Amino acid sequence: MRSSWENSAEHFEGFSLETVDVGPGSLRVRHGGSGPAVLLLHGHPRTHMTWGKVANLLYSDYTVVCPDLPGFGRSYQPADTADSRNSSKRAKGEALVELMRRLGHENFAIVGHDRGSLTAFRMAMDHPDRVRKLVIADGIPIIEHLERADWKFARDWYHWFFFAQPEKPERAISADPLAWYDKLAPALMGRPAYDDLLNVIQDPHVIHGMIEDYRAGLSIDHLHDRDDRDTGRKVTCPMLCLWSLRDDMEQIYGDPVAIWRDWADDVRGFGIDSGHHVAEENPEALSQAIRGFLEGA
């Protein structure tokens, strides 16, 4: 079931904004354009609005689909379980495959950034018949993060382990969301994206849903990764790995492409001159990289 939603975002000209029922709940999704379908998955703590500039740059040649991830923004909140399985990347991937099916896209490419890259990877692994090409930006498999964690990871990415704790993260963030997310910049994000995010981070249910995404990483997602590695399963579609040169991915892990070669049959990649939120900071370079990859052999 779909319901219409007012379309009022400056960066998504010509896009429709809807809620789409996918079974466990409804996803808020903005979509438009024409041509092959491309699913864009955002990171933490963003909503789909982070993709506005990139979506406009791809609109003329692709059908661009930008949902709020389950647990984020105004999409449904997965039901709580002891192991956070409903917030697993596998469960989210299944909901997003259903979203694409209901929008009429049986096959599609995926671009995932940050936490969205983890769900994108899981979708390519679990649904090779649906995912034509995969673009990962600023991400590696969860098990690689955990097994390679050192003092630099603990210092700079400590929130992974804090968010895994019960209750305390939600209390800390909800006490003063803008103090926690103190790097939000309306001039960089664009006012509609900033206002949208400002609204959702005031909602304790959304804060909980975003934290559950991390809890799932440390409870069940890494087990799914280990099963794939133990059985020799790999991503079979062509894959592009991107990373932000002014972020710390390369400094902590070295060459991300070398890591991904253990997980994908056909992978290439390079860095982009940007800070972490590349879709907002350098949308032109990101969209050019996406286009070049999707249009290549």
Catalytic residues: 114, 276
Task: Please state, in angstroms and rounded to a whole number, the distance separating the CA atoms of residues 249 and 18.
Answer: 34
Give the distance from CA 52 to its chain's centroid: 14
Contacts of 171 (CB under 8 A, 6+ apart): none
Which tokens belong to 92? 């989210």
Residue 61 sits at the vertex; the CA angle it makes with 116 and 68, to the nearest 5 degrees, is: 25
SS3 290: helix
Type of residue numbered 74: R
Task: Please state, in angstroms and rounded to a whole number, the distance separating the CA atoms of residues 248 and 252.
Answer: 6
> What is the C-alpha radius of gyration for the chain, rounded to an integer number of angstroms?
18
